[in-house]
Amino acid sequence: MAGILNRFTSEEEEVDLQSNKYLTFLIEKQYYAFPIRDVIEIIEVQEITPVPEFPDYAKGIINLRGRIIPIIDVRLRFHKKEEVYNERTCIIVVNISGLDIGFIVDTVDEVLDIEDENISAAPKISTDRSTKYITGVGKVGNRIVLLLDANKMLSEDEISELSSQVQ
């Protein structure tokens, strides 16, 4: 019995260790971050198979070790100018509602600890549509990092649409 309780304690401690860690990445020289607990893996951009009827921001799908992963270009999702992918462009794979989804970013930066006292509330007024995905604003030295909620990057309808296309 004690072994089972110790196992749960260890898992809780592991989750707690990840609570203030964020994977930072860049889009148009602006820092964004996903909580590290949401990130499954980071991969290089690979050949993307276009899928008819996918939304404009969804570039298509990839086969990642036998798993079909829909790919979203974060630039397009944030209504920014599309760029040619290069050797620094990466795909961050996260799980949203049971579906693994890849987000293309300009470059992955690093994993940062951002303590709660260094996180401000998300901006309330903006004409930029990307603000609905922002959960807070992290301050790291002189750098501002917009903290994103992976689960808000796509609506339930968008997830259903992507899910139906890849299964």
- Percent of the chain scoring above 90 in pLDDT: 62
pLDDT at 166: 67
Indicate whether 10 belongs to any domain: no
Amino acid identity, position 34: F
pLDDT > 70: what percent of the chain? 83
| C-alpha–C-alpha distance, residues 28 and 16, integer Å | 32
DSSP 122: P
Determine the Cα–Cα distance for residues 67 and 108; give it in Å rounded to an integer: 22
Residue 6 lies in a domain: no
Query: What are the CA-CA distances from residue 164 to residues 79, 138, 150, 154, 161 (Å)?
Result: 24, 35, 19, 14, 5
Residue 13 included in any domain = no
Domain CATH for 76: 2.40.50.180
Burial class (CB in 10 A: 0-12, 13-18, 19+), 80: middle
Average pLDDT of 133-158? 90
Is residue 7 in a domain? no
pLDDT digits 0-9 by tens, 54-77? 889 999 999 999 999 999 999 999
Number of domains in the chain: 1
What's 141's DSSP letter?
Answer: T
pLDDT at 66: 93
Rounded-to-integer distance, Cα 6 and Cα 101, Å:
33
